[in-house]
Chains A and B, each alone.
Chain A
Amino acid sequence: MPRRESPLQSETPQGTLDMLVLRVLVMGPAHGHTIAHAIERGSEDVLQIEHGSLYPALHRLENRGWIASFWGTSDNNRKAKYYRLTPTGRKQLAAQTTRWDEIVRAIGRILKPSTE
């Protein structure tokens, strides 16, 4: 069967969603629903995503050992699966953020008209 890519994977730069997830989790453990809404808000609704496509990303991150999961209870007393950042994940985020910033700066230098 031909493989269909998830919309998020095909429309956002590789690894971007992963980084967004990690960034949300820096603030503390959260469950999928919270993460989805946080990303949506954090990107000022630029990234319009189907919240479902978040879950494969979570699974992938967990497989890599960057985040860990546990079942807990949500604010309104619902059973929910929480994710938290692992030390490896924290290191990855730092590394990726630095790289990301470098890329952004590089892009910025190219796009901005030379003022000097």
Chain B
Amino acid sequence: MSWRRFFRRAFWDRDRAEELRSYLEIETEENIARGMSSDTARRAAHLKLGNTVRIREEIYRLNTISPLETFGRDLRLALRGMRRHPGFTLAVVLTLALGIGANTAIFGVVDGVLIKPLSYPNAGELVSIKQVAPGLNLSELRMSATQYFTYRDEGRVFQHIGLYGDGGTTITGIGEPEQARLLAVTYDVLQALGVQPQLGRLFTESDATPGATPGGRPFAPVVILTHAYWQRRFGGDLSVIGRRLIADSNPVEVIGVMPEGFRFLDMEPAAEVISLIALDRSGMRIGGFGYWSLARLKPGVTIADANADISRMLPIWLEAWPTPPNTGGRQEYEKWKITPVVQPLKDEVVGGVGDMLWVLMATIGMVLLIACANVANLMLVRSESRRQEFAVRTALGARRGDIVREVLVESLVLSLVGGALGVALASAGLTLVVATAPTTLPRVEDISLDPRVVAFAILVSLLSSMLFGALPALKHAAQHGAPIVGAVRGASSSRQRQRTRNALVVVQVALALVLLVASGLMIRTFAALLHVEPGFAAAADVQTARVWVPPQQVADPERVTRLQHEILDKVAALPGVKAAAFASAVPMEGPLRVAVTPIFVEGKDYAPGTPPPLRRTKMVSPGYFAAIGTRMIAGRDITWSDIDGRVKVVLVSENFAREVWGSPAAALGQHIRDSPPASTDLWREIVGVVENVHEDALYRPAPTFVYWPVMMENFNGNALSATRAINLVIRSDEAGGERLLNGVRNAVWSVNSSMPVFLVRTMKDLYDESMARTSFALIMLAIAAAMALALGVIGIYGVIAYVVAQRSREIGIRLALGAAPAQLKRMFVRQGLVLSAVGAGVGLVTAIALTRWMSSLLFGVERLDPPTYAAVLGVLAMAAAMASYVPARRAAAVDPVQTLTAE
């Protein structure tokens, strides 16, 4: 057998036919020469040669690649069948395209976000290092610089370990002052990631010598630019290496440019300038847990090994470094019970969206199952109409395997066509997802329709073709030997078929119910979130923008605050501004800018080594709560005269007041401080209590808060401290508008022309971000549930319509005998409802079992929420009734004379 001959069979056939003809002519001639008559001679020659057709067939077979040949034949038959039934084909292909397309799209997201390794070399070796402190009831404690040094010196499992943080840096010296997104790293972070610069070089240890940090800035005077920043600010100028910039009023030298594809984990917004953290070991103490950390493990080292190694080093670390003053010494830190939590770096980047994505994947998988059930139903109906054809072919010698194979090939072709269309849909869907994905969805840039996703689509197509093709194929195999005559009316086997179809509908309804419950629960979650009072009001009217006063420009804290006050007055005077204030951070900005501090309460005893609970703290200007819309529950706001007069006042949140003193009113006049009670009188009086604010997200409980004034004496080790980085909070109808923003910029620049205004957002943006995860899940689940319901309805409709068509003769007789059309209608509707009820029962049990997996997505609603289940059952019952009523009405409209004479 050879492929060349396989494709030249037709040529060979003609050639042999001619050869055989030539034999006949020669033989005939010889026979004539032997004295036969020409007729006899020809007949004798034919006899001698034998059956020429059979000879040609045999030669043809010699050139055949047999399985391929039969496959080709089945394929042609399938295509012909599809062309002959365009309606059926279209219905099947579209159903499958939707099912496979949706699955492929979601798999594309799952693959890009959860499965693909991070885009660093040997990304499996990369880990994030975190720690928890159960003794402090702290679920996340960042790393301190001293730990970094100990781990680097004593560690046995790391190739590289580094610290990093993010922030902003004011870049001047190239055009307008600008706040650039800063990634701050120790020299080994980029080495750990294994990335290479596009231009110049990476940081080295010698760049970070402590003597190299001018002006008290904790960074070495070298920077690396990211590709985007290099393009934007330097137009991709190759001579950028060696250029000097001014970063936060300090000269720095550009030593490298990162390549275009470089992204640091999932830093959002992306870094623009990378600075080198310069750490001075001398005089370093144990505190200062302010850094994140990542490491590259040595090959073959497991996460457990890494955890064990760090656990081993923690006592060494506590021994090696001095403890800060005013603390309970080493014993205090031992009581923290610091425990390392090493995780794959990917888990750190992906965060908590894994749950949601897997729920979506499962959901969409169910939609595909429903689609397959529907298609199987269609196939059964179609094969019903082909039973006679199959019976005839069986009688003519077709084997059972031939017909089963043919049905399977047909399913395969249908599902592959559907799959191809599905991939096109998925491609469009993925583009949409990437464009509209919530900012909380990490690694969006890794989502693409790559070969793996396409392979998934093909696999899913093959699997679904088996799912929906197996049933009709098995049915054919089972009915082998059915009589030709009357095959169409085999009553018993048709009842069995009807059972199969009923089972399919039950499955469909059950799955649809599960999806409806899931999306119903999401709707309830969404509604519950909308009812959460965030702790601020009319978010769309609140404009925020950040301004930073660098110490190099204004050193004196008093002048900093005065300057900020001046800016505030100018902003407040802008047209349309109803209120203006500022704070160190606005709600929902993320944990970075909110301090977490132990707060001591007057009158309570604190044994040495047992610090009080940690509270979140912020600095606020007078009028901040009024501007952002947080209600005063008791007492009064801070005033400028408090600040100017250095009056020791403070505000607390309602939940803090209730926790400590029982009621907001009882908190007024009480005193708190941020350091252990000592000789100096640092108690600050609570003058007001404000509404709780959902600082982290709507679905997280509101944390307890302490609000300090923006300028205080004797705070945090400083004689006088101001808040250099502030967020302006401006209430105006024009929030988000260009006119207001220009006004704000001009107000800031008229006070100091080298201060950038950045991170311009409205509170609505932050609020929407906080809702993003839920709304994304809600939309996806709602789409899935709608598809499921539609497919389920089509399933019920199809079955009832088929029953009506099949029993039209019986209906005709009944009508002729005087049955009321309404009664017949009821009969069929009842049948549809019974099927749906069984499906709903199965679905309820399934839903109760499966919704457990989505509890992490829910908020303010139980996963067995009765109203949701009731509503879903109601919707389903209505849909089922409608789906059966339409074909039932057709039954009632049957003309008895016509149906009875049609037979």
Residues of A within 8 A of B (CB): 1, 3-4, 6, 31-33, 36, 50-53, 55-56, 59-60, 63, 74, 76, 78-81
Q: Are B52 and A52 in contact (CB under 8 A)?
A: yes
A31 to B29, CA, bound (A): 15
Which residues from B are CB-within-8-Å of A59?
12, 16, 59, 62
B397: which of A1, A3, A31, A60 is its contact (CB, 8 Å)? A1
Of listed A55, A76, A80, residue having the most chain B CB within 10 A: A55
Nearest 4 pairs of A and B residues by beta carbon: A50-B50, A52-B50, A52-B49, A52-B55
Question: Beta-carbon contacts of B42-61 to A below 8 Å, as 1s and 0s?
Answer: 00000011111011001101
Distance A2 CA – B26 CA, assembled complex (angstroms): 33
Select one of A4, A50, A51, A80 contacting B22, CB under 8 A: A80
Q: List 30 A-B contacts (CB under 8 A).
A: A31-B23, A32-B22, A33-B23, A50-B48, A50-B49, A50-B50, A51-B23, A51-B27, A51-B48, A52-B52, A52-B54, A53-B55, A55-B19, A55-B55, A55-B59, A56-B55, A56-B58, A59-B16, A59-B59, A63-B2, A74-B22, A76-B29, A79-B18, A79-B22, A80-B19, A80-B22, A80-B26, A81-B15, A81-B19, A81-B22
A8 CB to closest chain B CB (Å) equals 10
Q: Which residues of chain B in 19-36 are interfacial with respect to chain A, using CB atoms and an 8 Å cutoff?
A: 19-20, 22-23, 25-27, 29
Q: A51-B48, A51-B50, A78-B22 are in contact. Are A56 and B59 (CB under 8 A)?
A: yes
Name the residue of chain B whose CB is nearest to the CB of A58. B19
Q: Output the nearest chain A residue to B29 by Cβ-Cβ distance.
A: A76
CA distance A81 to B59 in the complex (A): 16
Nearest chain B CB to A66's CB is how many angstroms away? 14
Known: A50-B48, A50-B50, A63-B62. A55 touches B16 (CB 8 A): yes
In the assembled complex, which residues on chain B have CB atoms less than 8 Å from the CB atom of A63? 2, 5, 62
* A52 to B48 Cα, complex, angstroms: 8
Asked if A33 and B26 sit within 8 Å, CB to CB, the answer is: yes
Residue of A nearest to B1 (CB): A63
Min CB gap B17→A, angstroms: 10
In the assembled complex, which residues on chain A have CB atoms less than 8 Å from the CB atom of B25?
78
How many chain B residues touch A (CB < 8 A): the figure is 26
- State A102–B59 Cα separation when bound (angstroms): 32
Question: In the complex the two chains form, what is the Cα distance from A31 to B16 in whole Å?
Answer: 12
How far apart are A69's CB and chain B's nearest CB, in angstroms?
Answer: 9
Q: B51: which of A32, A33, A52 is its contact (CB, 8 Å)?
A: A52
B22 and A31: CB pair below 8 A?
Answer: yes
Task: Name, among B52, B54, B397, the residue most crowded by chain A CB atoms within 10 Å (CB to CB).
Answer: B54
Interface members, chain B 576-625 (any A CB < 8 Å): none
- Which of A6, A32, A36, A52 neighbours the largest number of chain B CB atoms within 10 Å of its CB? A52
CB nearest neighbor in B for A75: B26
How far in angstroms is the closest Cβ of chain A from B365? Answer: 42
Q: Nearest chain-B residue to A7 (Cβ)? A: B50
Contacts of A79 in B (CB 8 A): 18, 22
Query: CA separation between A59 and B13, bound complex, in Å?
Result: 11
Question: When the two chains form their complex, are residues A32 and B50 in contact, meaning their CB atoms are under 8 A apart?
Answer: no
* Chain B residues whose C-beta falls within 8 Å of the C-beta of A31 in the assembled complex: 22-23, 26
Contact A32 B48 (CB under 8 A): no
Partner of A76 from the list B23, B26, B61 (CB cut-off 8 Å) is B26
Could you tell me the distance between the alpha carbons of A33 and B26 in the complex, rounded to whole angstroms?
A: 7
**Which residues on the A side are within 8 Å of B397 (C-beta)?**
1
Beta-carbon nearest neighbor of A52 in chain B: B50
CB distance from B32 to the nearest CB of A (A): 11
CA distance A74 to B21 in the complex (A): 13
Q: Known pairs A59-B12, A81-B15, A81-B19. 7 more at Cβ < 8 A?
A: A31-B22, A36-B23, A52-B51, A52-B54, A53-B55, A56-B59, A81-B18
Bound complex: CA of A1 vs CA of B57, how far in Å? 12
Q: B496 to chain A: closest CB distance in Å?
A: 31
- Encode contact with A along B396-417: 1 for CB under 8 Å, 0 otherwise: 0100000000000000000000
